[in-house]
Chain A
Amino acid sequence: MQWILNAILRYQNLLLYLFLLFISLLYSSVKSEFHQNRLSKASLLISGTLYQPFVVLTDYTRLSKHNQDLLTENNSLKNLVLAQFNRAEIDALEEENIAGPQYVSVPAKIIKNSFNKNRNVLLINKGEKEGIGTEMGVIGPTGIIGIINKTSNSYASVLSILNTDLKINAKFKSSQVFGSLHWSGKAPNHMLLEDVSVVNPVAVGDTLVTGGMSAYFPEGIPIGTVLMVEQPENGGYYEIEVELINNMTNLNYVYVIENKDREEIVELLAQ
């Protein structure tokens, strides 16, 4: 017994180091355990509270640019509404709204944005009390941003599309051909599109939008344009590089998209 105590005392630093290493690894790897969730929520709350006043301070210096961005966005939305609907369609839309629209958006402000890591995460200032839940889609003024990962009462973290673990269902606006979009971990404005068969014609400059095959995003949200197309000699699928429409490095405001039918869709898919 004595020699065990002596060994513990002799190697106390090594044992402490290994123990703390284990704790750190546990913190980083365990994703679904209750304690990890608690830590993530506490972590969200602390970083949210810490970054919020900092963001408020720096916001004043960028107010005119924000106003300009919002004005441009409002203008394009107004133009869309005017061009898209005639009176009969508006009446039909109002009837449809009695049952409630399928997608509802909640505006939020980004208080922490990362784009230089391998698995980038954003932090927004809206949380459970505003109805934000996990796995809701997030879009920016011009295109998609990511998917809600974790939520606390007042904040939520967003898994950015600049995250090597994430795959997004996408399609070509003109040909309606579907593919799978993911980030290679290189430039923050380039992504790769896979699973597009060479039987479909693809050209540089083609526009890519969300496919609507998942419950995260509605169909037709802009993603980007084709920058480069490579046809492998033996493979049956293109290697397509896409340039994002959104500039992921200077985001300010986003919209969280809630799909009212999501649970129903997920339940059906699980059967």
Chain B
Amino acid sequence: MVQYYTSFFFQAVLFLILQALFFDHINLFGFGNPAVYLVLLINYRFNLNQFGFILISFAIGFTLDVITQTAGAHSVASITVAFFRPFIVNYSFGKNNELTHPLNTSISLSNRMIYILSIILLHQLIFSFFAFFSFSHGYKIMLYFVVNSLFSFGIIIASLYLFRPKE
């Protein structure tokens, strides 16, 4: 377990640096930046305590908020994903699953994609709304949400297979 957390810590540092220094500056179509650090929240093992997972998600989101000056948007989106992840796992893989991580090859590809996409959509919806914090920018929020979700999905699928945990 210590080995898992140590490895997770170094992955977190790597993804946060990549997010702050590279992925937050891509600006596809002038605004599109993928939330690659979501790999950490997607990949976190299912069989660990959720209380700890919410705390870790907050630490990740808050660190990114402090570095990129986003005033709480990453924190709120990350803890929301952490809180709702058990529900997403249940409807993506079934209630009686005994899985430890989402890239288990015994799960069908479509189930894995539903799980990953649900987490990205939930995160991006909260993040886009929180970044604008106003209902009067509905069109812009939706545009950011759709472009950033699709962009994140593409990059995250590639990253997930690079950082696939061992069975």
B-binding residues in A (CB < 8 A): 12-14, 16-17, 20-21, 23-25, 27-28, 39, 42-43, 46-47, 50-51, 54, 112, 116-118, 121, 123, 157, 185, 188
Contact = CB atoms under 8 A, between A and B. Distances in A.
A50 B20 contact: yes
A54 B21 contact: yes
Contacts of B51: 12-13, 16
B30 A13 contact: no
B145 interface: no
Interface string B64-87: 011111011101100110110000
Interface residues of B, number: 32
B137 interface: yes
Contact of A185 (B58, B72, B130, B140): B140
A24 B62 contact: yes
Contacts of B68: 47
B55 interface: yes
Interface of B: 20-21, 27, 30-31, 50-51, 54-55, 58, 61-62, 65-69, 71-73, 75-76, 79-80, 82-83, 130-132, 134, 137, 140
A146 to B, nearest CB: 14
Contact of A47 (B31, B66, B71, B75): B66
A166 B30 CA distance: 22
Contacts of A20: 54-55, 58, 75, 79
Contacts of B80: 17, 21
Nearest to A42: B66
Given A24-B58, A43-B69, A47-B66, 7 more contacts: A12-B51, A13-B50, A14-B83, A20-B79, A27-B71, A118-B131, A185-B140
A236 to B, nearest CB: 25
Given A27-B65, A118-B131, A17 B83 contact: yes
Nearest to A27: B72
Given A117-B131, A185-B137, A27 B75 contact: yes
Contacts of B83: 13-14, 17
Given A28-B72, A185-B140, A46 B66 contact: yes
B27 A24 contact: no
Contacts of A121: 69
A46 B27 CA distance: 22
A140 B62 CA distance: 32
Nearest to B66: A43
A50 B72 contact: no
